[in-house]
Amino acid sequence: MASRIPILLMGMLLLLCWLSEAEYMKYKDSKLPLNVRIKDLMSRMTLEEKVGQMTQIERTVASAEVMKKYFIGSILSGGGSVPAPKASAEAWIDMVNDFQNGSLSTRLGIPMIYGIDAVHGHNNVYKATIFPHNVGLGATRQADSFISADPELVKRIGAATALEVRATGIPYVFAPCIAVCRDPRWGRCYESYSEDHKIVQAMTEIVLGLQGDIPAGSRKGVPFVSGKTKVAACAKHFVGDGGTTEGINENNTVIDRHGLLSIHMPAYYNSIIKGVSTVMVSYSSWNGIKMHANHDLVTGFLKNILRFRGFVISDWTGIDKLTTPSHANYSYSIEAGIKAGIDMIMAPMNYTEFIDGLISQVKNNIIPISRIDDAVKRILRVKFVMGLFEDPLADKSLVNQLGSQEHRELAREAVRKSLVLLKNGESADEPLLPLPKKSSKILVAGSHADNLGYQCGGWTIEWQGLSGNNLTSGTTILTAIKNTVDPLTEVVYEENPDSNYVKSNNFSYAIIVVGEHLYAETFGDNLNLTIPEPGPSTIYNVCGAVKCVVVVISGRPVVMQPYIPLMDALVAAWLPGSEGQGVADVLFGDYGFTG
């Protein structure tokens, strides 16, 4: 009997050792190397769990239950998709954490990653700071340079944007857009820093602002996100989106390989070297081949030649658009998109169809499991690098960063630096600008002078933008003028006065603010590039009767030639965003023009 006790003890010890070994999940140990954690987690995953990781759904169809049932890897807010109108940072955090708790309650507890378009600040969110759109930032110049733009400025904007996005519990942004807009008729031209790829390359410094500076000696191409005040970034739209025929959105870019690689590709090299976490594929085609089905460029070039190690994501229903009409042959779309090398699919609404279709294609050997494993490895790598496994839930420690005064001052600086002076007086000897702050009476006119929505442009609160002054917090150009002039100067605002009114009121001078209406994406495609009425008639009525400066609010260069003889000064202000005070800072000479 006595000899059996040690054997029994030995057996119990072995069982305990085995149980503790079974409980030790390497992927949960942050001290272990990244590849060990990825390999361990991959070895535990079923096909269903892997396909779930490859699926990104819209928040309107998400719930904790959906996350748990389908092992969903990611959620996004499409343009204007919010938990509630004018939702607070706390409301955003509660929503994101609710979804995350669903993901954490799955068998393996793999956290989801929430993504949002923060293309000029945290633009979906009420009271966030709205920075100038990229077209304006691309016009900025460092004092000692006329070639490169101001990369240090956009890096600071990236860091501020990251803080505001994290303030709402979100760790992933679909930015920056590194398109090279070669035709201003394109409706997304304002999302591009420049037609010059060198300027776009310089502006990839925003990646380091969003994600943090990569540690010295890092392997090139490996994603990097520096903790809880930073976000995963996304270089988009791969590749050639700014070069389509006649600037038609989502159209065909006709260019030889050398042209594609020398104009549209360089900013991707820079982004990848800077550790960008994800790359989004373009809706557009290259020489007739849709990018969402282009294995040569997505797998062959981006993954194999550029050695990109993050994940590749589709655009919104991007694979659906591989057929005409969209979604006409979804099984083909799944096969073509996944085989091209796309790792995560934005299947915002019809996610069950995507999941079922992909699982079926793997089981029927249409898509090899090796392709699935490549995708999931990349997605998990980004999640591990970001620290999502250690800190999956957002806390409320950063809520005061949303729309902070410091960020508004930075946006105001960006507005000042982006303004471009196109005309100033009939000759250099008689400039109109800077304007005197002390005058008896001045006129402010134009549809865009007192309209925060027009100032911010598309991708602001709503996908297409919103006209008016009650969309979010900010300063209109009219308010900025009133804040800047001498208290004794009378400021009269008349949106579209007739010439008799102007002549009979004895104004010292007039400031006219006119420009384009709101648009985003295809809705902005414009083959004539003129500004709409009442802009032209306001210019004729006012400038014909009094000294005037015209400030143009637009997402691209627009035709001003017919009105130039009438005006005394002309300023391109692009889409300056929420801080209109930056416009007045320069008009009245507190700062000089540098754009």
C-alpha 335: how far from chain center: 28
Name residue, tokens 């923060």: 118
Catalytic residue among 164, 195, 315, 335: 315
Among candidates 208, 371, 387, which has minimal Cα distance to 303? 371
Cβ-contact 340, 311 below 8 angstroms = no
Amino acid at 307: R
Among candidates 418, 363, 397, 348, which has minimal Cα distance to 573? 418
Crossing angle (nearest 10°) for helices 351-363 and 369-386: 130
Among candidates 320, 281, 351, which has minimal Cα distance to 70? 351
**Cβ atoms within 10 A of the Cβ of 527, count?**
8
Task: Map 133-170 to HEC letters.
Answer: CHHHHCCCCCCCCCCCCCHHHHHHHHHHHHHHHHHCCC
How do beta strands 278-281 and 311-313 pair? parallel
First to last CA, the chain: 93
Is residue 521 annotated as part of the catalytic site, yes or no? yes
In whole angstroms, give the CA distance from residue 287 to residue 252. 6
Catalytic residue among 117, 521, 525, 585: 521
Is residue 406 annotated as part of the catalytic site, yes or no? no
Name residue, tokens 């392709």: 371
Catalytic residues: 315, 521
